[in-house]
């Protein structure tokens, strides 16, 4: 098991605050995973995606690193650049 997986497993098991924050951010992590997968599928670098949506590479890096809470407009621009439609719903 990787160091990351061991760290995650131990902290989820032993740190209630860590676990709470981890669970609260599940949707954001899933969204980021989808964006990264689509970007890679389209064979775009972060810089190339940034250029397509009129921003800089650091904005994409912050988004993919979980350090940025994107607006719906930003997500829509990413979706268009990746030939996808953004769908937001409550379940």
pTM score, whole prediction = 0.83
Task: Give the pLDDT score at 6.
Answer: 92
pLDDT per position as a tens digit, 41-86: 999 999 999 999 999 999 999 999 988 889 999 999 999 999 999 9
Q: Is residue 55 part of a domain?
A: yes
Residue 68 near residue 55, CB atoms below 8 Å:
no
CA 72 distance to own-chain centroid: 14
pLDDT of residue 1: 67
Residue 82 in contact with residue 43, Cβ under 8 Å? no
Residue 13 lies in a domain: yes
Full domain range(s) for residue 18: 3-81
The CATH number of the domain holding residue 15 is 1.10.260.40
How many separate domains does the chain show?
A: 1
């Amino acid at each position: 098991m990787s160091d990351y997986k061991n760290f995650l497993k131990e902290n989820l098991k032993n740190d209630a605050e860590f676990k709470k924050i981890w669970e609260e951010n599940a949707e954001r992590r899933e969204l980021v995973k989808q964006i990264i997968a689509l970007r890679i599928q389209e064979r775009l670098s972060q810089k190339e995606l940034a250029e397509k949506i009129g921003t800089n590479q650091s904005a994409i890096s912050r988004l993919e690193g979980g350090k940025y809470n994107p607006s719906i407009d930003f997500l829509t621009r990413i979706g268009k650049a990746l030939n996808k439609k953004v769908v937001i719903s409550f379940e």
